[in-house]
Amino acid sequence: NAGVTQTPKFQVLKTGQSMTLQCAQDMNHEYMSWYRQDPGMGLRLIHYSVGAGITDQGEVPNGYNVSRSTTEDFPLRLLSAAPSQTSVYFCASSYSLGLAEETQYFGPGTRLLVL
């Protein structure tokens, strides 16, 4: 199993550009989520999905869109990038519907710089 994979590893954008961060998992996990990691703030939940076709907002959803057309993939879209979205983005997945005690498996991250 490759686990949770993310592409690209690093990206530089100009303000106003759009892009999609890719996330895929090969563990047949129902639950997937996106976090951003900022210095001194830990990780914060952006969006999550409990299965194909079902998504919901997390703590910091503004400026981001998601969709879940398959169990394996959960892309994160930035419609119009802003410098405030400079961060490291992590995708995660877990076996079930994300019960409180479940372990989440994280991808290696995408480092995004918005100029």
Partner 1 sequence: GNSVTQMEGPVTLSEEAFLTINCTYTATGYPSLFWYVQYPGEGLQLLLKATKADDKGSNKGFEATYRKETTSFHLEKGSVQVSDSAVYFCALSPFAGIQGAQKLVFGQGTRLTINP
Q: Is 106 in the site for partner 1 (CB under 8 A)?
A: yes
Helix (H, G, I), strand (E, B) or coil at 85: helix
Among 22, 27, 52, 58, binds partner 1 (CB under 8 A): 58
Binding flags for partner 1, 27-56, as an x/- string (CB under 8 A): ----x-x-x----xxxxxx--x-x-----x
Neighbours of 37 (CB within 10 A): 14
Question: Which residues in the 1-20 window bind partner 1 by CB under 8 A?
Answer: 4
Helix (H, G, I), strand (E, B) or coil at 77: strand
Q: Which residue, among 24, 1, 99, has the nearest Cα to 34 in the 3D structure?
A: 24
Pair of tokens at residue 96: 């079930």
Residues that bind partner 1 (CB under 8 A): 4, 31, 33, 35, 40-45, 48, 50, 56, 58-59, 90, 92, 94, 97-109
